[in-house]
Structure 1
Amino acid sequence: MNSEPIALIVIDMQRGMATPEAGERNNPDAEENILKLLAAWRGAGWPVVSVRHISRTEGSPFWPGQPGAEFQPALAPLDSEHVVDKHVPDAFIHSGLERWLHVRGIHRVVIVGVSTSNSVESTARTAGNLGFNTIVVSDATFTFARQDYAGAWRSADEVHAMSLANLDGEYASIMCTGDAINLL
């Protein structure tokens, strides 16, 4: 077992992300893989951080008190686990996450959740820029189809692959669930 703890950061696994209104997505097994990672991290007694997006836009599914803002029950944090509320895609901005990690001597983070092309990518970029050894788990993240800047429609798989390519090597290492569990 590795002696230096690695924090598992679970991003935005809220009810609002699990609705058809969220759009066409990829990685239908992402939640199952996140559950495997949670079980491994909890079994090892390593830190788990659950990040929750709280919108500042009234009427948003992620507005405080709306069902969409609640964690998906199967992925909800334990009472002993740290919860970070954020108002922008990046989990480090105005949240105290960086300090929380530094106080605990944590220099390595594994990032999972949604969406690869938004909150996951933004958080991973900042983690890398702050000097954290950052890993993004490709099969425990997912994103949604969208139109690119040139007007072409991109599938969720294409958007996901490009986000991972944006991160790989410069901000983070990319690995699958099994390899991340082997870090323990």
Structure 2
Amino acid sequence: MKISKTDKPALILIDIQKAFDNIPYWGGQRNNPNAEENAGELLKLWRKNKLPIFHVKHCSSNPESLLNENKIGNQFKDMVQPIEGEPIIKKKVNSAFIGTDLQEQLDHAKITSVVIVGLTTDQCVSTTTRMAGNLGFETFIVRDATATFNKKGVDGQNYSAELIHETALASLNGEFATVVTTDFLQQNI
């Protein structure tokens, strides 16, 4: 698959929120420490080229969650703050398409390709990517602008954040999306 700005791909930034700065809360280890900065660079590139941008925010209904709307962790990180005119999609589940009007907004704008960045690779990023692919969007996921945390296996084994990230991408690549890098997009958009 190829991508260019003439395709008018939408950049979908998923859950780049302050709550994810609390690494111990999410598992104690994280990969891709520059993921948010790379997402911020892509956001600048999309703005420069006047391409469509959608900010997705997880708004947990659990009052104890760091992602609850009443908590500071719900706020977007500084490097990806939305500006006037950029839609904010609020979701309560892993997929940015469930319980939101994201698909309707993309369809209304006649967008056929999407580029997905954000947190976390194996959860909301993966779920949204899978749905985007299933809905027929030409979908790209950015390897170095996504990140996750380590996970405990069903038998208590600790799986590293990098392993979780890479296996999530491997499951998506070629089936639901094409895995690309920030550099690739900077050269092709």
**TM-score with structure 1 setting the length:** 0.96
Answering whether residue 104 of structure 2 is matched by residue 99 of structure 1, we say: yes
- Within the candidate set 158, 177, 180, 1:175 is matched to 180
* Counterpart position of 2:12: 9
**Conserved? CA contact 2:116–2:139, under 8 Å:** yes
* Counterpart position of 1:77: 82
* C-alpha separation in 2, matches of 1:172 and 1:151: 31
Residue 90 of structure 1 aligns to which amino acid in structure 2? S
**C-alpha RMSD of matched pairs (Å):** 1.2
* C-alpha separation in 2, matches of 1:131 and 1:35: 26
Structure 2 matches for 1:55-70, cutoff 5 A?
A: 55-70=60-75
Alignment size in residue pairs? 184
Q: Which runs of 5+ in 2 are unaligned?
A: none
Segment of structure 1 superposing worse, 107-116 or 16-25: 16-25
**TM-score with structure 2 setting the length:** 0.94
* Counterpart position of 1:18: 21
Query: Any idea what SS the aligned residue of 1:8 has?
Result: strand
Kindly state the Cα deviation for residue 3 of structure 1 after the two structures are TM-superposed.
1.8
Runs of 4 or more off by more than 6 Å in structure 1? none
**Conserved? CA contact 2:5–2:49, under 8 Å:** no
After superposition, what is the alpha-carbon deviation per residue over 1:108-132, rounded to whole angstroms, capped at 9, x for unaligned?
A: 0000000001000000000000000
